[in-house]
Amino acid sequence: MSKIKVTPSEFQVLSKYILEVSGIALAAGKEYLVETRLSNIMDALQCPSYNDLYSKAKRDHTHDIEKKIIDAISTNETYFFRDNTPFDLIQHKLIPDLIDRRSKNTGILQKTGIRIWSSASSTGQEIYSISMILKDMGIDYTRYNIKLLATDISDAAIAQASYGKYNRFEVTRGLSKQRLERYFNPDGDYWRIKDEIRAMVTFKKLNLMKPFTGLGKFDMILCRNVAIYFTAQDRKMLFERISEMLEPDGVLIIGSTESLTNEISFFQPQRYLNSTFYVRK
């Protein structure tokens, strides 16, 4: 592992670059993060300094180094049914209410459909938790025309999510034995999500700092544990754009430890049991 230290001026340049390409804000004091997470890339590219890494990244028209830096710097921590209560909320309130409203509004569910977006999906546990809930509920995907979209900025995270393969540690986190056996197939030392669950989801690379072109509108958006890495200004801009991506009765779910204090003008908070969700204003 590279033992090269990042100098204050290199940290300034690199953190500005990382902010530009990903929205991830590295405040002073996060020098260790740059040193620990970028050391493998420094070694692989034989960079004598962080300035050299920056120059190589800027000169690289394939954007391959940029991708590697984003993969390394982003925190992909996630697990199945993370925090539990949002998934109880989805299962016991949001999905039944949506189905009810869609049935009343149109009488023809196929025409309206239900669209759910996991907007910083990391390695897929969040969106697969929703697929499993929908299966548990016995919901007929075709009848309700349910579409699940999962996006993330990290190529590596999206690749794993799309492949749906998890190691022993990952499947012990948040997943009951029943669901593991019901929805996964053993694959050597790994477990692979069954095709019937995998097929429900479309995975796509997407940077939340860039325009959401061509995504359409959603009935439910999850934007959990990602905005904490952005500046206050970027957070506000992001949640305003997310509110515009919601159907008039669409809902937003954020991380259990997050709040929308500065972005509340776009949403109406609502409580259900121990969860808060946000309806578009």
Ligand X SMILES: C[S@@+](CC[C@H](N)C(=O)[O-])C[C@H]1O[C@@H](n2cnc3c(N)ncnc32)[C@H](O)[C@@H]1O
- Which residues of the shown chain bind ligand X in the complex (CB under 6 A)? 22-24, 74-78, 82, 120, 122, 126, 152-154, 157, 207-209, 224-226, 229, 255
Q: Which is nearer to ligand X, 4 or 149 (CB)?
A: 149
Residue 207 burial (CB count, 10 A): 15
Q: Which is nearer to ligand X, 15 or 154 (CB)?
A: 154
| DSSP bridge partners of 93 | none
Q: Which is nearer to ligand X, 81 or 184 (CB)?
A: 81
Distances (CA, A) of 131 to 50, 137, 206: 42, 10, 21
Q: Which is nearer to ligand X, 10 or 126 (CB)?
A: 126
Q: Which is nearer to ligand X, 153 or 201 (CB)?
A: 153
DSSP 8-class letter at 94: I
SS3 176: coil
Q: Which is nearer to ligand X, 128 or 144 (CB)?
A: 128
Distances (CA, A) of 37 to 42, 71, 143: 10, 9, 46
Give me the least distance between CB of 149 and ligand X, in Å please. 13
Strand order in the sheet with 190-193: 165-167, 190-193, 184-187
DSSP 8-class letter at 49: S
Give me the least distance between CB of 140 and ligand X, in Å please. 27
Give me the least distance between CB of 249 and ligand X, in Å please. 23
Give me the least distance between CB of 142 and ligand X, in Å please. 27
Give me the least distance between CB of 121 and ligand X, in Å please. 6
What is the Cα–Cα distance from 64 to 58, expressed in whole angstroms?
Answer: 10
Distances (CA, A) of 6 to 9, 79, 101, 242: 8, 32, 55, 36
Give me the least distance between CB of 232 and ligand X, in Å please. 15
**Contact by Cβ (8 Å): 155, 122:** no
Give me the least distance between CB of 25 and ligand X, in Å please. 10
Q: Which is nearer to ligand X, 144 or 230 (CB)?
A: 230
Question: What H or E segment, with its residue span, contains residue 271?
Answer: strand 267-272
